[in-house]
Structure 1
């Protein structure tokens, strides 16, 4: 999850294959940027292992900026090369990730030929013995996930959100034009901010065998439908993932596409918009962004737009185009992240979810009661005079009794009756039924309930922790650990407030 990996501009290496920036508006995405960008990228090269060891202080834990899972860890380190002040990001793969040396080198060299100001460009690789490493530009100013979901001083402004959407679409269009239309697990953690706070797409997602269409790992609720059916992704699958990021930008939350599309079909798109942005953009602009997102999220791949068409649609929405990104984000510089400090020690509930200690989770959910959706409970109590509401409340009480008695099948039945009544949503009911499903080895159903709990109560960290537990059960360790970190950040933020 939250990794920053790219760096400040590099001086020219003097060879003819370097690319020079041009003025804004250039159709050549290799050179899209400001007129003041007179610097060039260095050529892709193969590094010696000793060079990268020295650059990262022997792959020191102090230089780790991201890592994914235990079974197949892909750790990213910040480093500095010995020949200057250049910062780099070094991604070190598990020994078994690339057993075929030639395949790794071919993939890396192909991706390394790409050069765009919309990418955190791949600068080189290392392939010695069993070591497989990638070297990229280092991005000093965090990820979209950090600025969108875990902001501390102010939310991301509407013009900046539109700029992120356009720059990302331009990055995808550029990659597609160069024959690299597939991208591994496109999400808010893959979008990074450079020293000028311009958003860039991480080049690392262009690797990992994504050309064969088989390597696509993400939260199942956000996975393109065709992948669920065939286990393969195509170019249109990346547009679907782009649509989920548009929803992120619009809502400030990670909302499951199915839930968002239901709201869109019911013309309730206002419920999708981030309350922090109220009054800061027009309904027409919001409606247009929703329209673009819904087109990207079409069930049939052939009905989704191309990256080029998306770029054209988003270009027309841009606001304050003359304002630098740094100014739009209202910062002179971004402080170092506090993420690591906040997530060093997990809360007891998070720890139980990370261990998959279902007994401990049950005990803590029971003790917590309904305090996290108290408003819904109070409203139910106030409106109990209707027979429908009384029946719903009685069904929930039967579920609670079964839950306390560890009659998990009975609890599922009663909670399902309450939910299907549709009278009043309850994040706690979804959370409890989620655990009941986990107790019955129904991890997919459990994940669905944990996500519904998040939709019902977006600021409740428990919902994220339960998603992690379900993802662990499904064998999706990378996503589970990302969800644990998201939950810890949310919990830390709520404590500060």
Structure 2
């Protein structure tokens, strides 16, 4: 866990002004109860040096928080830069309805600026919700020096028995919270006590399981100072703990009178009817035309229209709960991270049933393009299925981030085996199967799927390997639909420098032959075991494509083979030469000379080795003259996850 930030320390030293109203009558009610009785509040000892900018950033954060707090009961957000930046967290009690949660949060935002108008940090703690903001991140903070306890009500008539019973209650709810994603309620009775004792524990959802446990242990010590009194609370940075002889949380009634059953039935059928009407509305509200426009992208350099993400827009196998993903990834612990891109990270998730998954966390607020890529990837990959495409298990749109959940690929991405130090050496047989599997997947996308799809970012980092090292194409964030009635699209360039076809890199001229070119570059990398460019090599070998062409023209193509494969008993010279020839056909400078991916599959699976002879593209000479990449104008290229530019949302796994 990170060390608390320096600006948080003064806040921790601030004396909380605990304004406790008269003891509320926490009885079970049928009407709404947002529980806005204040438990405490606190302000930093440091004021902002730029009240106008800080207040505006705080206002923006509050507006961002409300979008998720009203649907999930939890939200984090940040806005601004430098010392005027604001980080915010809001969370409601799990037993609060979303309507009451919204009311509680609204009251908290009003009160916190009254108490702390210019301070760089503040907290507002109600019985039903919690709100905090700082000028530095604090989301993983469990404890601080500003913790406190609140003791109210009168002493028990049997203090020793009461204290023993309360101690058992606290141990019980702490244990339950540890197993229940940081939230638990319970009650306990004892012979000799007039009333049961009720308890509630709640951790901030940004804490890891261990941090939550640490916070609740400390809170237990704090609240024990209230023992013998009938109501006690502990308030800390990462958790809230309370016991009371009053039933202060919602408990479902056990009575089932006929009138209640009728009301339940009426409400159920009414809800079903309402959902049906909403589905009809959404079908007409979001027609296929909008889906098509979103995926096909802007034409003639025009930007696509703004798009608001809703769950109704997606098809999915399963809609995941944010908390379940948070627990599966150990609160997105750094040790669970297996990949990273410019707009998000990928974490390994292990669910309670033992199922493993790859969880891609996108920071949508970081860039407007991420929202586009999230919509694109979810809609597109859920609309197609193939054994050589990574499978989307589901998504989560309700939470502080947008999350995609994929099947877990235990052998990570292809680039880690080709260019990294891995324990598993890829044999030629394995490499050929990867080359063939990738070709099958691309042929399906370009020609066989219900929609003609252009991937636009085929490279080793986007080819994942399953248990048997079968290839699966991943990362559809830059994909585009290709209209049946058009020969090409003109768009902003997207992809990775070195894998991008020249006509696309220079003119934005997009056809299915762009994916074919990228595939050809990928095949050359798989055969040679080296990257498309390596500045540590001689000038003749620096660019992989140029080197491969020179070897081919001099009838020395077999010299391209990865030295690690030499001497392998299964090494098939004729098959390797055929694969190299296919790769060079795929990387022809003129798009019309490149084969379709279905033809590539046919050539790879054919017993013959007699194909059309590739010709030396003129652009290779231009590359050589200009030292590789500078002759091609990549100024308008959309960013991608390469060493040069880290922006594409790739699932690029790193072994741990």
Root mean square deviation of aligned Cα: 3.6
Structure-2 change in CA distance of 1:305 and 1:183 (3 Å): same
1:480 paired with 2:643, answer yes
2:409 to 135, 139, 151: 139
- Give the match's secondary structure for 1:171: helix
Size of the alignment, in residue pairs?
291
2:514 corresponds to which residue? 237
The 8 Å contact of residues 464 and 472 in structure 2, kept in 1 or not, is answered as yes
Distance 1:217 1:139 in 2: 25
- Which structure has the greater CA radius of gyration? 2
Distance 1:136 1:269 in 2: 38
TM-score by length of 1: 0.52
1:297 paired with 2:587, answer yes
1:192 paired with 2:192, answer no
1:287 paired with 2:287, answer no
1:165 corresponds to which residue? 435
Distance 1:216 1:80 in 2: 37
Deviation at 1:298, TM superposition (A): 0.9
Deviation at 1:287, TM superposition (A): 1.9
Structure-2 change in CA distance of 1:87 and 1:97 (3 Å): farther
The 8 Å contact of residues 105 and 127 in structure 1, kept in 2 or not, is answered as no
Structure-2 change in CA distance of 1:209 and 1:150 (3 Å): closer
Distance 2:424 2:408 in 1: 25
1:113 paired with 2:383, answer yes
The 8 Å contact of residues 184 and 215 in structure 1, kept in 2 or not, is answered as no
Distance 1:184 1:58 in 2: 32
- Give the match's secondary structure for 1:128: coil
- Give the match's secondary structure for 2:642: helix
Structure-2 change in CA distance of 1:258 and 1:216 (3 Å): farther
The 8 Å contact of residues 76 and 89 in structure 1, kept in 2 or not, is answered as yes
2:318 to 23, 45, 50: 45
Residue by residue over 1:455-490, the C-alpha shift from the partner in whole angstroms, topping out at 9 and shown as x without a partner, is: xxxxxxxxxxxxxxxx9xx9968422789xxxxxxx
2:526 to 244, 249, 252: 249
Deviation at 1:187, TM superposition (A): 0.9
Residue by residue over 1:338-362, the C-alpha shift from the partner in whole angstroms, topping out at 9 and shown as x without a partner, is: xxxxxxxxxxxxxxxxxxxxxxxxx
2:357 corresponds to which residue? 88
Structure-2 change in CA distance of 1:198 and 1:154 (3 Å): closer
1:54 paired with 2:294, answer no
Structure-2 change in CA distance of 1:482 and 1:162 (3 Å): farther
Structure-2 change in CA distance of 1:309 and 1:477 (3 Å): closer
Name whichever structure is richer in strand by fraction: 2
Structure-2 change in CA distance of 1:144 and 1:237 (3 Å): same
Structure 1 residue ranges without an equivalent (≥5): 1-41, 319-443, 450-470, 484-497
Distance 1:64 1:316 in 2: 41
Moved more, 101-110 or 217-226: 101-110
Residue by residue over 1:292-350, the C-alpha shift from the partner in whole angstroms, topping out at 9 and shown as x without a partner, is: 111111111121111111111112369xxxxxxxxxxxxxxxxxxxxxxxxxxxxxxxx
2:453 corresponds to which residue? 181
Distance 2:322 2:492 in 1: 27
Structure-2 change in CA distance of 1:183 and 1:102 (3 Å): closer
Structure-2 change in CA distance of 1:231 and 1:139 (3 Å): same
Structure-2 change in CA distance of 1:119 and 1:56 (3 Å): same
The 8 Å contact of residues 495 and 640 in structure 2, kept in 1 or not, is answered as no
Deviation at 1:113, TM superposition (A): 2.7
Structure-2 change in CA distance of 1:58 and 1:128 (3 Å): same
Where relative contact order (Cα < 8 A, 6+ residues apart) is larger, the structure is 1
The 8 Å contact of residues 494 and 638 in structure 2, kept in 1 or not, is answered as no
Deviation at 1:104, TM superposition (A): 4.2
Deviation at 1:219, TM superposition (A): 4.5
Structure-2 change in CA distance of 1:185 and 1:100 (3 Å): closer
Distance 2:493 2:392 in 1: 20
Deviation at 1:232, TM superposition (A): 4.5
Residue by residue over 1:60-108, the C-alpha shift from the partner in whole angstroms, topping out at 9 and shown as x without a partner, is: 2221111124xxx2211111234x2211111122324456969844651
1:149 corresponds to which residue? 419
What is the correspondence of 1:32-431 to structure 2 with a 5 Å cutoff?
44-69=317-342, 73-82=343-352, 84-95=353-364, 96-98=366-368, 104-105=374-375, 107-128=377-398, 131-152=401-422, 155-176=425-446, 177-178=448-449, 179-202=451-474, 204=475, 206-208=476-478, 210-211=480-481, 214=491, 217-255=494-532, 256-280=544-568, 281-316=571-606
Structure 2 residue ranges without an equivalent (≥5): 1-314, 483-488, 533-543, 609-624, 647-656
Distance 1:112 1:475 in 2: 24
Structure-2 change in CA distance of 1:311 and 1:147 (3 Å): same
